[in-house]
Structure 1
Amino acid sequence: MDEPLPIDTGTSAEGQVPLAPTDPVARVLIDHPVPHLARTFDYAVPEKLAEAALPGVRVRVKFAGKLRDGYLLERVESSDHIGPLATIQRISGPVQVLSEDLLALCEAVARRYGGTLADVLRLAIPPRHARGEKAVLKAEKAGKSADPAAAETENPVTGPDDGPADDPQLLNRLGEWVLTAGEEPTSDERAAQPRRRALACTPGPTPGLSWIRAGLDAARATLESGRSVLWLVPDHRELAVLHSTLTHAGIAEVSVLSADQSPELRWQAWLRGLLGHTKITIGTRAAAFAPVADLGLIICTDDANLNFLDQHAPYPHAREVCLLRSTIEDTELFFVSTDRSAEVQRLVEIGWLADVTPVGPARRHAAPVVFVPDEERDPFAWQRIPSRAWQIMRTALRPRPRDGGVPGPVLVQVPRSGYYPVFACARCQEVARCPQCQATLTTQSEVGPFACRSCGYHSETFSCQRCRSNQVRSIVRGRARTVEELARALPDIEIVESGGDHISTALDETPRLVVATTGAEPYVLGGYAAAILLDSLWPGPWMRSIDESVARRLRAASLVRSRDDGGAVYLGDEDELIRQTLTAFDPTTFMSRQLSDRKVLGFPPYRRILELTGAGADIDEMIGEIGEVEELLREDAEDGQRSVSAYPFSAGDRVGTRVAEIIASRSAKKQPQVRVRIDDPRSL
């Protein structure tokens, strides 16, 4: 039998274009939204682009008759493709934006969340801005570290159109206050810190901003060793205050990176980090992937904040990106917050993170005094603003000379608009109560869902026990009504509102009332003299609702001066867990107890969670193909059904990889897609 003739598989290009003399084949990752097409393809490297076509650069290639963006991952000698290869059309900029470390991190995130590498790179690398890139490269060539030209017309923190501008003079005073308050730790104390640690901080000498002092101490030790720092914060308000503090601390070469910036400023900040022009990079969740030359420390502030959860596929959480990055790049890691997330507490308990939270008398003295309603002794404790709250408020605004207190602003925290912590029947005005335990029901809107915090009762519909009506009305007053009541009772006191479209970042120490919705509480120079935390702030019927309630209260209470400086908090919650945690100002003990129950039940964070949303038959098919998950619940959703399954940590990469393969396969077969979310905190 004759041998088959050998096939010439030598590399050639369409149109007989001359190729690069060495490694003429480029493996290009196509930036494509369709899952089965977001992968690598071989392209020929033309001779004219031989020197510019380096691994990590952005390229433009023809794909399915259209020009598309992509990343050149590597150059090789030959291709398995039979026939001529399409050529790279052009190089989009001379900078190798995709480094080996960044590629490894993005691949790890894609495996972790069951997504495509192209989706993760879309989150990790901002769109290119040619003018901004030219300015940075010009500065690089001239030996400078930055080009301030673009920053003259825009705020480097918030961008040109990010709501009302903050008073820069007040931000400067805040930065100076953070630096001058308290004592500076010695170099020996800095060196003694564990490499990976977590801190639940107290107000101390800098109420509301003690996280900056703690992070700054850690950052200085890293900067003194010659390495760089990456610091993540939840939103632009923290970013503005942090930037001001670092500027006043004399730390040069600070780069600010946020999705709120203009495309030009964001790309410039990203490039400066890549080229090593900055020693410290600060930003919101968009900065979790930011390139930092010689990275030595990652700081993540308030890791439980839902702003860190990306709303674009594959929906990564910045905390998990930090954990992966610290492992891949072998860096120090520091989680600092006023509360303690379940994920961080689990890492503390297994010994991966060291807990450096102060305990005992030191912690109690650094926190404000917390008062709770006493129905037995105070006959007016049931009122919207009880007599004890009025007393605390007046004492803080106008302390008597014999008390020796320093007057200051008073924070009045009210629920978010549209949230019904307590509601009643719209027909008979009867307060809605749980049919199982008779505790008050709570809902997020007039149409539900309705749930009980005491026994866990949950229902999608409401029926009044007295008149059987299905209509509800709120009996908790919002921010506007609260302001009216305070204005009538204290007509000569200034009232400032913060919430909705008008959220203040910082205020001065003038004695006034500050009425703010949850999460919109401004920072105050010197801290609030007192806080009145009205109504219950239960966020809804989900597993982490009590965690979120405690976190919201602790964040507000941390803005108040310590008890040694006369700070006081009136807590209106009836929940005993919230009262105990706030009174002791001890979130670590609270979370440790919560985790003991979840560990027995096999709930997160002791297992990972896979949420699938789509048609029931498609969900069943995917779960059958994955094979390593246990379905916990199935319920109807707007676009079909929602299924939540659990799987062990040991199967993490396998499940993530398998999910991505199934999604790509379904895409190639043009089957209906199922939306996938892994470890979404609100899945249960």
Structure 2
Amino acid sequence: MTATRRSDRRPADGSPVARVCVDVGLAHLDRPFDYLVPAELDDVAVPGTRVKVRFAGQLVDGWLLSRADDSGHTGRLAYLEKVVSPEPVLSPEVARLARAVADRYAGSLADVLRLAVPPRHARVEKEPRDEQPTPVAAEAAEAVDPRGWRDYSTGPALLRALTDGRAPRAVWSALPGEDWAARYADAVAATVAGGRGAVVVVPDARDLDRLDAALTGVLGPGRHVSLSAALGPARRYRAFLAARRGQVPVVIGTRAAMFAPVDRLGLVAIWDDGDDLHSEPRSPYPHARDVLLTRVQLAEAGALVGGYARTAEAQLLLETGWAREVVAERATVRARIPAIAPTGDDPQLARDPGAATARLPSLAWTAARDAIRADLPVLVQVPRRGYLPSISCAECRTPARCAHCAGPLALPSAGGTPACRWCARVAAAYACPECGGRRLRAAVTGARRTAEELGRAFPGVPVRTSGREEVLTEVPGGAALVVTTPGAEPVAEGGYGAVLLLDSWALLTRADLRAGEEALRRWTAAAALARPAPTGRVVVVADGALAPVQALLRWDAAWFAGRELAERRELGFPPAVRMASVTGAAEAVADLLAAARLPADAEVLGPVPADEGRERMLVRVPRARAAALAEALHSAAGARAARKAADPVRLQVDPLSLF
């Protein structure tokens, strides 16, 4: 596919100009560049293909975005050097989406395209193509059973709209015990029955496996592909090509699937949009929810945002009228929820105030004992992993710190030696710098220590742990204690007899704008696995007067999300406003903000300390000025890049963490 003699080159007869996005992540080069298409590459140089071009004297990768009859460039145009592959992997819809995402997040198109299209795998491209599957017949729409959605007043109407080819936009609050994967499979099947495709994004591999099984049961094998960065290069590229070639109408996956190319897109869906795994850690740091909602606007597709809890961003979609609510009647909610109680309702606390500091108050201990006697499993959620992830001096309670880097010391096991969590140095001869004491005590108890304590409290009962080292998917229905960290809760056969939510202070007292929202999200995810009352009980070790606890007791995520959004609107925090974070060396941050032509109503906050000696400034504008803010920051970053400023600056629009 390369020209052998450069002097004999002549441009293609038709549309000889190729507009190329050069894969160079510099802000001032974020625009298409024109090249001539040589005649010998005319047939393979089609929009969407990967190409090689000469740029600044080097051979670099690029994307052929389009072809034109002429160019606005008055100088001499260089030729395309090579078409890497004739496979048009970049669809026009994804190209438009990538441009919109780059503009929204003050990033460059090249950076977004690296996220949107997986690296090429030549051997996979050369594999024989599977035959196109037979399209779903129109009468297959009757096969989508709406019974699973009948517990929600507008659920069946959502399926009918998808089947009819309309574009409904819904925010769904799932009931406890709900098989959310089956409900998403119903919505996808209705979309496919209407002759269109779907993209569904979930937080992690466990959720993906569950959704994959549900879709296979509804659509049959071979009608969808899973797209995840964990698949490996060959499998991921194979699944991507199947979607791009139109061989499957449905793509599911983790955030790697948010840009998946699907023909005639009719539905985008995201489960548990508050999970931080949906936020891309690479520039320009897009969030899967916002990428999918942008696709809704561009493709005129339907949208489904679901979860046991509700984010302030989802609540904003409802309050602005962009989406409609799909919830169950209160009578249905009361019939489905377990019996939920805070330890603040424990009568024993009134008689013994010291019991309030115990990790397993009597109410929680009684709930666990009763479930085990009934031969039912007990789920225990602990916010921290490890044994003792934080320790302090037993004499004066001073937190134990590493003498080398001042990082927190942790104890890996009952007979282990304290070690730093930052630099891993062992502190075998630790002495408190305040009082000289050498005895240590637990400041924070981890999942493994909790499992050890519960094993002693309930002798003879099996104790299982689920966390980063080993995440369980399912557990049998017999008596057992299952200790997990948030997000690693396995499903129990028949549901848990009791769910204990310990150390709630670790979630509620975090210096984070989303602390209450995140606590409720993690609690509802665990509580949803319990049996309905009266056989299922949930005990949260927290004050029942706190707003997140009240929302859990009533299973009313909508109330809490509305309250949270109202407070953020009053205080001027996202999503009520658009906020950008500018992080770097103090001089670099000041230089960028001085060069940025910020909107007149922009408010600059800070600086505040960031990591590694850097500082962070926040820029806040009304949502109506979001595009102007992103453009101003991107232009300023481009000006710094053009003059080769030494110190880098990281731009993030609506970052998850503001503090």
Letter in 2 for 1:547: E
2:27, 2:635 within 8 Å by CA — same for their partners in 1? no
Pick from 168, 176, 181: which aligns with 1:212?
Answer: 181
- 1:200 aligned residue: 173
State whether structure 2 residue 249 is matched by structure 1 residue 279. Answer: yes
Mean CA deviation greater in 215-224 or 615-624 = 615-624
Q: CA deviation at 1:420?
A: 9.3
**2: CA distance, partners of 1:130 / 1:184:** 49
Q: Which amino acid aligns with 1:391?
A: T
Question: Aligned runs of 1:77-476 on 2, under 5 Å?
Answer: 77-82=69-74, 84-135=76-127, 138-140=128-130, 142-143=131-132, 190-191=159-160, 195-203=168-176, 207=177, 209-252=178-221, 253-373=223-343, 374-378=345-349, 379=352, 380-399=355-374, 407-417=375-385, 427-429=395-397, 446=408, 474-476=442-444
Instruction: Report the equivalent of 2:621.
Output: 647
| Alignment-derived partner of residue 477 in structure 1 | 445
Aligned to 2:634: 660
Which of 577, 582, 590 pairs up with 1:612? 582
1:677 corresponds to 2:647: no
Tell me the residue number matched to 2:559.
Answer: 589
- Aligned partner letter, 2:39: E
Residue 353 of structure 1: how far off its partner (Å)? 1.2
Counterpart code for 1:497: T
Preserved contact between residue 342 and residue 595 of structure 1 (Cα < 8 Å) = yes
Give, in whole Å, the separation in 1 of the partners of 2:391 and 2:322.
44
Secondary structure class of the residue paired with 1:410: strand
How far the C-alpha of 1:633 sits from its partner, in A, is 2.6
Return the offset for 1:351: 1.1
Q: Quick one: structure 1 residues 189 and 262, their matched pair in 2 at CA, closer, same or farther if it must change by over 3 Å?
A: closer
Aligned-residue RMSD, C-alpha: 3.1
2:116 counterpart letter in structure 1: A
Which amino acid is the alignment partner of residue 39 of structure 1?
R
What TM-score comes out, normalization by structure 2 length?
0.84
Alpha-carbon deviation of 1:212? Answer: 1.6
In structure 2, the residue matched to 1:532 is 500
Using the size of structure 1 for normalisation, the TM-score is 0.81
Distance in 1, Cα, partners of 2:7 & 2:268 = 50
Question: 2:308 and 2:480 mapped to 1: Cα distance?
Answer: 25
Between 1:49-58 and 1:231-240, the stretch displaced more is 49-58
Distance 1:474 1:493 in 2: 25
Per-residue CA deviations over 1:568-614 (Å, capped at 9, x if unaligned) read: 11111236223211111111101111221221222211111110012
Alignment-derived partner of residue 563 in structure 1: 533
Q: Relative to 1, partners in 2 of residues 1:278 and 1:643: Cα closer, same or farther, differing over 3 Å? A: same
Aligned residues of 1:237 and 1:505 also touching (Cα < 8 A): yes
Amino acid aligned to 1:62: R
Alignment of 1:468-547 (within 5 A): 474-536=442-504, 537-538=506-507, 540-547=510-517
Structure 1 contact 233–284 (Cα < 8 Å) conserved: yes
Counterpart code for 2:597: I
1:633 is matched with which residue?
606
The residue number in structure 1 matching 2:418 is: none
Rounded to whole Å, the distance in 2 between the matches of 1:468 and 1:555 is 44
Q: What does residue 412 of structure 2 align with?
A: none
Cα displacement (A) at 1:179: 12
Q: Structure 1 residues 445, 491: closer, same or farther in 2, change over 3 A?
A: farther
1:355-375 C-alpha deviation (Å, 9 max, x unpaired): 112242211221111122135
Q: Counterparts of 2:382 and 2:492 in 1: how far apart (Å)?
A: 18
Deviations 1:281-335 (A, max 9, x none): 1100010000011111111000010000000000000000011000100000001
User: How many Å separate the matches in 1 of 2:579 and 2:436?
Assistant: 38
Question: Which amino acid in the other structure matches residue 598 of structure 2?
Answer: G
What corresponds to 2:57 in structure 1?
A: 65
- Tell me which residue corresponds to 1:455: none
Cα gap change, 1:179/1:242 in structure 2, threshold over 3 Å: closer, same or farther?
A: farther
Provide closer, same or farther for how the CA distance between residues 122 and 488 of structure 1 changes in structure 2, counting only shifts above 3 A. Answer: same
The 3-state SS of whatever aligns with 1:503 is coil
**Aligned residue identity for 1:651:** R
Tell whether the 8 Å contact from 1:239 to 1:284 is kept in structure 2 after alignment. Answer: yes
Q: CA deviation at 1:338?
A: 0.8
Contact 2:191/2:198, CA 8 A, preserved across alignment: yes
User: For the residues of structure 2 that align with 1:183 and 1:361, how far apart are their CA atoms?
Assistant: 13
Amino acid at match of 2:589: I
CA distance in 2, matches of 1:180, 1:189: 12
Alpha-carbon distance in structure 2 between the residues aligned to 1:645 and 1:534: 37
CA distance in 2, matches of 1:616, 1:546: 32
Relative to structure 1, the CA distance from residue 426 to residue 63 in structure 2 (aligned partners, 3 Å threshold; closer, same or farther) is farther
Q: How far apart are 1:422 and its partner, in Å?
A: 9.6
Counterpart check, 1:552 vs 2:545:
no
| 1:297/1:86 CA distance change after superposition, 3 Å | same
The 3 A distance-change label for structure 1 pair 359 and 182 is: closer
2-structure distance, mates of 1:371, 1:478: 23
Change (3 A) 1:255 1:467: same
CA distance in 1, matches of 2:492, 2:235: 29
Runs of 5+ unmatched residues, structure 1: 1-12, 146-177, 400-406, 433-443, 448-463
CA-to-partner distance for each residue in 1:335-393, whole Å, 9 max, x for gaps?
Answer: 11011001110111111111112242211221111122135434445422122222211
Checking the alignment, whether the CA contact within 8 Å between 1:410 and 1:531 is kept in structure 2 is yes
Counterpart AA for 2:57: G
Change (3 A) 1:467 1:347: farther
Q: Which amino acid aligns with 2:471?
A: I
Instruction: Give the aligned residue type for 1:232.
Output: V
Contact 1:215/1:336 (<8 A) preserved: no
Residue deviations 1:414-464 (CA, integer Å, cap 9, x gap): 1223799998665423899xxxxxxxxxxx9749xxxxxxxxxxxxxxxx9
1:20 counterpart residue number: 12
Counterpart CA distance in 2 for 1:125 and 1:607 is 31
User: Given residue 396 of structure 1, which amino acid in structure 2 is its aligned partner?
Assistant: A
CA distance, structure 1, for counterparts of residue 477 and residue 129 of structure 2: 42
Q: Which moved more, 1:347-356 or 1:374-383?
A: 374-383
The CA distance in 2 between the partners of 1:675 and 1:418, in whole Å, is: 32
1:14–1:86 CA contact under 8 A, matched in 2: no
